[in-house]
Chain A
Amino acid sequence: MNDKKSHNRNKTILIILLAIILISFAVILSLLLSRPGERQDESKTTNGVVGTITDNWDPGVSQPENSGGSKKGTQIPGYSSAEMKEGDMSLKLRVGNPKENTVGIFATVKLSDGTVLYTSPLLKPGQGLDEIPLNQTLSKGTYDAMVYYQCVLLDEEQTPLNAAESAFTLIVN
């Protein structure tokens, strides 16, 4: 009789422990799945990652309400300078297609001698990068550089439109 009681008690304890283990696994699983930064939609990307094209890119220049932003045409970002260290294979340069535009843009970063440092894929309005990967690094010095913005229609043929060049000084320390 006592053996049967003891057996039943042990069985109960075992069931409780198994329940605790199952609950523990469930809690761990839910915590892992809800951890921020690991369940991002693939279309949403992280700012500041080299070569990563972000949606909702903004030039970050002050724009008072009375600015002429509504004028017809294509907005092109311009720069004064950019800096990198010798040996770096990336460059902090905010390259993008302002969201106010209705055209696509291919951006090419190059030196005045024609050396191409970076070519972007098609950037739709609102897409851009904060830091670009480079095809090659550069030696210490000061270079004349530019971003060549080729505007295209957002059609299948990507029909070319007018283009723009934003010249800037590239300093390699």
Chain B
Amino acid sequence: MKTKKIITLALAAAMVSASALSVSAGTLTETNTTGQTEVTARIDGTTPVPGDVTYVITIPDVVDFGTLTQPENTDKDSFKDVPYSVSLTEVNNLDVATQKIAVYVRDQNASVGNSDFKITNKADSTKSFTYDIYDVLPENITATKQSINANSMTQAAGYKLCDFTTQGDAVDGTLRLNQTQLCGYDIADIVGDYSGYMVFLSTIENA
């Protein structure tokens, strides 16, 4: 009799174990709150999907003029040129007949009416020097070629740098600092590390 009771209990335990298995197979967890399997797909078409990446541009990492030198002759320009490149690396679903990707650039601290591109002494922010931005390489800067920041900035987005429509489009330009700005200073007063940052704004506009 006692043995029968034990056998009955053991069988009951086995059945409970089996039912636990079938119930736990459908248990909802924090990471699986619906019990459904997500099926995803991407359909490439001409209409951009809201929230998706439409394009990728490549911008320069940093403004780096290297070591600057105080020129001896203050009457003659002493340019330090640094090439840079901005390009349209990838693009998808852009209707080039009606759309373009416009790129603007400004100094990190610029605003309308105060739009100089500057590098500033890291230890003393009152010491800074300005530089200009050209949309051509150094060898193509002529006496009549104006920098893109020759005039005052009229919109908060910055100075218009270029329009892109096709993958591979690029602007190879120049950052130019005239070292004659260093003249008139005691070198001990301006020695140190300088840094400056640019902000590139891109937006899709009507062509």
Mark A residues whose CB is within 8 Å of B: 7, 10, 13-14, 17-18, 20-21, 24-25, 27-28, 31-32, 37-38, 46-48, 59-64, 66-69, 71-83, 91-94, 98, 103, 131, 146, 151, 160-168, 171
Contacts and interface: CB of A to CB of B under 8 A. Distances in A.
B197 A28 contact: no
A171 B52 CA distance: 14
Contacts of A31: 21, 25
A35 B4 CA distance: 37
Query: Which of A80, A146, A164 is packed against the most chain B CB atoms within 10 Å?
Result: A80
Contact of A75 (B32, B42, B57, B197): B57
B87 A71 contact: yes
B53 to A, nearest CB: 4
A162 B58 contact: no
A37 B50 contact: no
Given A10-B3, A76-B59, A91-B51, A162 B14 contact: no
Interface residues of B, number: 59
Contacts of B101: 78
Contacts of B63: 162
Given A20-B14, A32-B24, A91-B51, A166 B60 contact: no
A61 B90 contact: yes
29 contacts: A14-B6, A17-B7, A31-B25, A59-B90, A62-B90, A63-B89, A67-B89, A71-B89, A72-B60, A74-B61, A76-B202, A78-B56, A78-B203, A79-B53, A80-B48, A83-B51, A91-B51, A94-B53, A98-B56, A103-B61, A146-B201, A162-B61, A162-B200, A163-B108, A163-B199, A164-B200, A166-B202, A167-B202, A167-B203
B57 A76 contact: yes
A22 to B, nearest CB: 10
B207 interface: no
B58 A161 contact: no
